[in-house]
Amino acid sequence: MKVAVVTGANKGLGFGIVRGLCKRFDGDVYLTARNEERGRAAVADLEKEGLQPKFHQLDITDHASIVKLRDHLQNTYQGLDVLVNNAAIAYQFNDFVPPPYPEEAQQVCHVNYFSTLDVCQVLFPLLRPHARVCNVSSLNCHESFCDCSPAVQNRIKTAIHTIEDVNKLINDYVKAAQNNQHLKEGFDKYPYGMSKIGISLMSAIQQKTFDEQGAEDIIVNSCDVGVGGWVATDMTAQYGVSIDKGALNPLFCALLPPNVKEPKGKFLYDAKEYDWWAT
């Protein structure tokens, strides 16, 4: 039995991705969420539509929670076929009251980048041949890249070759933000966009690593959401297209057919490769 996992899926875009996978993926689909009550309520809502998602608790900021999910997948399915890393936070596009900037930068990058990386590192050993990974990024990575200094842009383009390089880039931004030196050091002012630069860079490196290891048709891509980049969720104060339209791009990545040559390790916008670091 094949199995798919979507993180951060009790509402919003993740919920729409689970709905789409339930309709199109030939296997079990796991809706995961930090809060078990809300997660199970979301599953119940989809069951009313005639769909049959499964639930597993997952807090991507809690390593032990990720390990519990891994153990469940290993014991029940002996592998993993689709992983959609959707869970993320933002204060930029909504009415949420942000913490002080240094804390916001640390918090957003910890959840959006480092916790997503932890999910990948724990679950990737389960990926079977022909597995698909979609790391939900954002066109904001392009906007943040354009607002970085030429020196930081050049670093991103030429000096990022490993996950450790990405970690240092994001940590350097967070450290600069703690001292309110991020603009002086050439970083963008928006934590969300900086975190998504990390996701987009990470995805390309993950694909390169799988290729070098000779993995059989495992494909990793990052993507913007939906059509036009805005999806009506709590994160965007309900501005944008429906969650079902928003899910189209992640679903395209998650459901790429076996043995396709492209896209691999790319950033996708409206289901097409997009050069996010073009200025």
Query: What is the rounded distance in angstroms from the CA atom of residue 242 to the CA atom of residue 12?
Result: 9
| pLDDT above 90 (res 238) | no
- CA–chain centroid gap for 177, Å, is 23
Beta strand segments in 123-269, E: 127-136, 219-223, 267-269
Confidence at residue 233, expressed as pLDDT on a 0 to 100 scale: 47
Domains detected in the chain: 3-273 (3.40.50.720)
Q: If you average pLDDT over residues 96-119, what whole number do you get? A: 94
Confidence at residue 269, expressed as pLDDT on a 0 to 100 scale: 92
Q: If you average pLDDT over residues 236-251, what whole number do you get? A: 74
Q: Is the pTM of this model over 0.75?
A: yes
Which band of pLDDT confidence, cut at 50, 70 and 90, is reported for residue 241? low
- DSSP assignment string, 81-98: EEEEE-----STTSSPPP
**How high is the mean pLDDT of the chain?**
93
* Residues carrying an active site annotation: 192
